[in-house]
């Protein structure tokens, strides 16, 4: 028997679920029935793997048993390690775009076809929040590099990045004097708005209010706050490095967080990264949507998703090289 004060970590349960999407871009949700854990919440249909089963086989079996449909399991969407009281699971989410039969709640569960943009209106288990974010929000989060003196080139690079599909941008300068930075940030916000990209400014709540954009909180700032610094509707995000900071971000109602450094970066030489295993350990302690940062880029997207990140955040890896500008 473990000592009474020993912290016992429950074994991890493997669960697989399907994002079943129809031609009208609606997603099928099932409501958890009475008497089960998390009863009444909506979930992506699926269930636990049986001994020796692959996730694909388990999903085909579960969807046949629960819904009476025969599915073709599609691409991996993401894998979310998540801790619940007395329970620890890994939710492996697969896309399902092809099936035969008409889904029915064969176990008495209610079903709903939900337009993808309405998913946030449904109350779902904590592990599903990052999945919904991954379905709806950008997988790359650009953090702008220090503008330096050549602000025209900086703006041209930002435009190029937007042209390459960046749709979430954190405007960040630590070195510019405030007036010049505010003017430049206002011009950058215009470019982002034109491209339909969301903007957050680093650290400066007043500037965020003035420009009517979101704010990205630094970790030290986050720990000083008792509540969300902007009203609902304006994005609030935070940089986090440990479970305490993630708890603080969740407590004040941040929309998402950035966690790292995953790998060693030129800006933090000699400082070992937390690695993907470290990232996944933090992931399971929060339900916030997370971006991985630090030595990662678009080439790491699949790895990030496999560890419960909805995507990657980066400065250099998402900022066009000078040669791209010359070509553009
Ligand atoms: N199928 C499914 N399960 C999910 C989702 N999100 C999530 O946290 N889970 C959790 O993953 C586990 C799935 O187990 P299950 O549905 O096969 O079984 P259960 O909880 O009814 O337990 P039981 O078999 O002991 O009755 C539950 O703990 C459930 O809360 C989801 O979107 N889909």
Pocket test for ligand 1, best of 33, 42, 79, 91 (most atoms within 8 A of CB): 91
Å from CA of 111 to ligand 1 middle:
16
Sequence-ordered strand ranges (E) for the chain? 12-20, 26-31, 42-43, 46-48, 70-72, 76-84, 87-96, 98-100, 111-115, 140-143, 168-171, 198-202, 214-217, 236-240, 256-259, 290-293, 311-314
For the cut 50, the answer to whether the pLDDT of residue 295 exceeds it is yes
* CATH match for 12-125 among 3.40.309.10, 3.65.10.10, 2.40.170.20, 3.90.79.10: 3.90.79.10
What ipTM was reported for this prediction? Answer: 0.94
Average pLDDT over residues 54-63: 98
State the CATH architecture for 140-327: Alpha-Beta Barrel (3.20)
Coil vs helix vs strand at 312 = strand
Confidence category of residue 5, pLDDT binned at 50, 70, 90 = very low
Phi/psi class of residue 6: alpha, beta or left (left: φ > 0; alpha: ψ in -120 to 50)?
beta
Residue ranges of the chain assigned to CATH 3.20.20.70: 140-327
Q: What is the pLDDT of residues 166-185, one digit of tens each?
A: 999 999 999 999 999 999 99
Average pLDDT over residues 67-76: 98
Å from CA of 102 to ligand 1 middle:
22
Q: What was the pLDDT predicted at 326?
A: 59
Using DSSP bridges, classify how beta strands 236-240 and 256-259 pair: parallel, antiparallel or unpaired.
parallel
Average pLDDT over residues 184-213: 98
For the cut 70, the answer to whether the pLDDT of residue 6 exceeds it is no
Q: What was the pLDDT predicted at 322?
A: 74
Residue ranges of the chain assigned to CATH 3.90.79.10: 12-125
For the cut 50, the answer to whether the pLDDT of residue 328 exceeds it is no
Å from CA of 279 to ligand 1 middle:
23
Residues 6+ apart with CB under 8 A from 155: 184, 187, 188, 191
Å from CA of 11 to ligand 1 middle:
15
Gap between the Cα atoms of 119 and 140, Å rounded? 21
Pocket test for ligand 1, best of 13, 36, 40 (most atoms within 8 A of CB): 36
Using DSSP bridges, classify how beta strands 26-31 and 111-115 pair: parallel, antiparallel or unpaired.
antiparallel
Å from CA of 308 to ligand 1 middle:
17
Q: What was the pLDDT predicted at 37?
A: 84
- Greater confidence (59 vs 10) lies with 59
Q: What is the pLDDT of residues 8-30, one digit of tens each?
A: 778 899 999 999 999 999 999 99
Q: What was the pLDDT predicted at 136?
A: 97
Instruction: Give the residues surrounding ligand 1 with Cβ less than 6 Å away.
Output: 15, 17, 36-38, 43-44, 46-48, 89, 91, 125, 127-128
Residue with the nearest Cα to atom 21 of ligand 1? 36
Mean pLDDT of the chain: 94
Q: What is the pLDDT of residues 73-130, one digit of tens each?
A: 999 999 999 999 999 999 999 999 999 999 999 999 999 999 999 999 999 999 999 9
Q: Which of 182, 183, 200, 187 is nearest to 158 (CA)?
A: 187
Q: What was the pLDDT predicted at 1?
A: 45
Pocket test for ligand 1, best of 10, 16, 28, 37 (most atoms within 8 A of CB): 37
Phi/psi class of residue 196: alpha, beta or left (left: φ > 0; alpha: ψ in -120 to 50)?
left
Q: Which of 114, 39, 99 is nearest to 68 (CA)?
A: 99
Helices (H), the chain: 55-67, 129-136, 151-163, 178-195, 205-211, 219-224, 243-251, 275-283, 301-306, 322-327
Q: Which of 193, 183, 188 is nearest to 144 (CA)?
A: 188
Å from CA of 47 to ligand 1 middle:
6
Q: What was the pLDDT predicted at 8?
A: 74
Å from CA of 91 to ligand 1 middle:
9
Pocket test for ligand 1, best of 44, 77, 84, 125 (most atoms within 8 A of CB): 125
- Greater confidence (259 vs 4) lies with 259
For the cut 70, the answer to whether the pLDDT of residue 2 exceeds it is no
Q: Which of 200, 201, 254, 198 is nearest to 228 (CA)?
A: 254
Q: What was the pLDDT predicted at 306?
A: 98
For the cut 70, the answer to whether the pLDDT of residue 3 exceeds it is no
């Amino acid at each position: 028997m473990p000592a009474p004060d020993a912290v016992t970590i429950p074994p991890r349960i493997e669960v697989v679920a399907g994002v079943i999407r129809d031609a009208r871009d609606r997603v099928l949700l099932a409501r958890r029935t009475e008497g089960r854990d998390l009863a009444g919440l909506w979930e992506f249909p699926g269930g636990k793997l049986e001994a020796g089963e692959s996730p694909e086989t388990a999903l085909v079996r579960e969807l046949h048993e629960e819904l009476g449909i025969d599915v073709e399991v599609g691409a991996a969407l993401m894998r979310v390690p998540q801790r619940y009281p007395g329970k620890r699971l890994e939710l492996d989410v697969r896309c399902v775009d092809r099936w035969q039969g008409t889904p029915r709640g064969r176990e008495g569960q209610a079903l709903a076809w939900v337009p993808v943009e309405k998913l946030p209106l449904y109350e779902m288990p904590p592990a599903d929040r990052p999945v919904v974010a991954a379905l709806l929000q950008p997988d790359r989060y650009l953090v702008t590099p220090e503008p330096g003196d050549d602000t025209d080139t900086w703006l041209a690079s930002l435009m190029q990045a937007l042209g390459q599909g960046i749709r979430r941008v954190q405007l960040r300068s630590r070195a510019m004097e405030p007036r010049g930075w505010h003017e430049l940030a206002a011009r950058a916000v215009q470019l982002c708005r034109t491209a339909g990209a969301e903007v957050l400014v680093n650290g400066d709540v007043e500037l965020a209010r003035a420009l009517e954009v979101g704010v990205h909180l630094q970790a030290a700032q986050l720990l000083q706050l008792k509540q969300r610094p902007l009203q609902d509707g304006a994005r609030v995000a935070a940089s986090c490095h440990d479970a305490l900071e993630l708890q603080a971000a969740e407590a004040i109602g941040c929309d998402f967080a950035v966690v790292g450094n995953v790998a060693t970066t030129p800006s933090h030489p000699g400082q070992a990264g937390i690695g993907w295993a470290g990232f996944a350990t933090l992931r399971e302690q929060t339900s916030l949507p997370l971006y991985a940062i630090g030595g990662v880029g678009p080439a790491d997207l699949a790895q990030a998703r496999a560890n419960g990140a909805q995507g990657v955040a980066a400065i250099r890896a998402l900022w066009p090289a000078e040669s791209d500008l010359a070509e553009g």
